[in-house]
Structure 1
Amino acid sequence: MEYYCNNRNQFRANELKISIVFATHNGSYTIDRILASYKSLVCPPNFSWEIIVVDNNSTDNTWEILESFKKELPIKLLKEPKAGKNSALNKALHEPLGDIIIFTDDDVLPHENWLVVYAKLFEEQPEFDLFGGRIIPYWEAAPPNGLLEAIPVHVAFALTSESEKTGPIKAGKIYGPNMAVRKKVFTQGLRFNEMIGPSGKNYIMGSETDFLQRAEQKGHKAYFSLSSTVQHIIRPWQYEKKWLQNRAFKFGRAIVHDQKRHKNLAEHALVFGYPRWGLSKLIQLYLQVCLACLRNDSFKKYQKNWQYNMNKGFLTEYKKMGNALEDE
Structure 2
Amino acid sequence: MTSDKILTVIICTYNRASLLKYCLDSLVNQKCNDFDVLVISNNCDDNTSEVVKSFHKILSIREVIEKEQGLSFARNRGYREAATSWVAYLDDDAMAHSNWVKVILSTIKSYDFGAFGGIYLPWYKEGKVKWYKDSYGSNQKFFKQKGVYELSGIQFISGGNAVYDRMALMSSDGFPTDIGMNGDILSYGEEIVLQRQLKKNGLKLGINTDLLIDHLVPLRKQKVSFFIESFQNKGKVYWHGKKTNPGKLIVFTIQGILSVTFTVFFACFKLFKRDFFKENAKVEIYSKFQFYLQSILNYKSRT
Fold conserved (TM > 0.5)?
yes
- Describe the superposition over 1:211-248 as per-residue Cα deviations: whole angstroms up to 9, x where unpaired: 12211121111222122211112222221233232223
- How far 1:144 moved relative to its partner? 2.8
Q: Specify the alignment match of 2:279 in structure 1.
A: 301
In the other structure, the counterpart of 2:146 is: 165
Q: Residue in 2 aligned with 1:249?
A: 232
Aligned equivalents of 1:53, 1:265: Cα separation in 2: 45
Q: 1:308 corresponds to which letter in structure 2?
A: Y
Moved over 6 A (4+): 262-265, 275-286
**CA distance in 2 between partners of 1:226 and 1:187 (Å):** 26
The DSSP-based 3-state class of the residue aligned with 1:136 is strand
Aligned counterpart in structure 1 of residue 62 of structure 2, from 76, 90, 94? 76
Alpha-carbon spacing, 1:283–1:54, altered in 2? closer, same or farther (3 Å) = same
Establish whether residue 35 from structure 1 lines up as the match of residue 24 from structure 2.
yes
The count of corresponding residues between Structure 1 and Structure 2 is: 296
Q: Write the distance in 2 (CA, Å) between the matches of 1:262 and 1:124.
A: 38
SS class of match (1:90): helix
CA distance in 2 between counterparts of 1:236 and 1:120 reads: 36
**Structure 1 pair 264/163, CA: closer, same or farther in 2 (3 Å)?**
farther
In structure 2, distance between residues paired with 1:139 and 1:310 = 25
Q: What SS is found at the alignment partner of 2:249?
A: coil
Residue 115 (structure 2) pairs with residue 133 (structure 1): no
- Separation in 2, partners of 1:131, 1:184: 14
Pair 277,121 (structure 1): closer, same or farther in 2 beyond 3 Å = closer
Bigger mean CA deviation after superposition, 135-144 or 19-28: 135-144
Structure 1 residues 262 and 200 mapped into 2: Cα distance closer, same or farther (>3 Å)?
farther
Q: TM-score, normalised by structure 1?
A: 0.76
Q: Aligned partners of 1:27 and 1:264: how far apart in 2?
A: 43
Question: Deviation per CA, 1:39-70, whole angstroms, max 9, x where unpaired?
Answer: 111226xxx42111111122332233223323
1:113-154 CA deviation, whole Å, 9 max, x = no partner? 1111111111111x22211122222222553333328xxx3x
For 2:137 and 2:68, the matched residues in 1 are separated by: 25
1:239-268 deviation line (CA, Å, top 9, x unaligned)? 12332322232233343438x368798234
Give the whole-Å Cα distance in 1 for the aligned partners of 2:259 and 2:146: 35
- Listed as ranges, the gaps of 5+ residues in structure 1 are 1-10, 270-274
Q: Pick which of 227-236 and 17-26 moved more.
A: 227-236
- Secondary structure of the structure 2 residue equivalent to 1:147: coil
Matched letter for residue 149 of structure 2: P
TM-score scaled to structure 2, two decimals?
0.81
State whether residues 52 and 62 of structure 2, in contact with CA within 8 Å, keep that contact through their aligned partners in structure 1.
no
Check 1:279–1:123 CA distance in 2 against 1; reply closer, same or farther (3 A cut): closer
Q: How does 1:109-128 map to 2 (within 5 A)?
A: 109-125=95-111, 127-128=112-113
Q: Does 1:267 align with 2:249?
A: yes
Amino acid at match of 1:225: N
Structure 2 residues not aligned, in runs of 5+: none
Q: Decide whether aligned partners of structure 1 residues 183 and 277 sit closer, same or farther in structure 2, where only a CA change above 3 A counts.
A: closer
Report the 3-state secondary structure (helix = DSSP H, G, I; strand = E; otherwise coil) of the residue aligned with 1:137: strand
Corresponding residue number in structure 1 for 2:221: 238
Equivalences for 1:39-54 in 2 at 5 Å? 39-43=28-32, 48-54=34-40
Q: Distance in 1 between matches of 2:92 and 2:113?
A: 26
Partners of 1:144 and 1:236 lie apart in 2 by: 8
Equivalent residue letter for 1:24: T
Relative to structure 1, the CA distance from residue 241 to residue 39 in structure 2 (aligned partners, 3 Å threshold; closer, same or farther) is same
Percent identity reads: 20
Are the aligned partners of 2:236 and 2:298 in contact in 1 as well (CA < 8 Å)? no
Letter in 1 for 2:279: K
Aligned to 2:173, what secondary structure does the other structure show?
coil
1:267 is paired with a residue whose SS is helix
CA contact (8 A) 2:120 2:139 kept: yes
Q: Which amino acid aligns with 2:8?
A: S
**Aligned-residue offset at 1:320:** 3.4
Q: What is the Cα deviation at residue 276 of structure 1? A: 9.8
RMSD: 3.7
Q: 1:137 to 1:285 in 2, by over 3 A?
A: closer
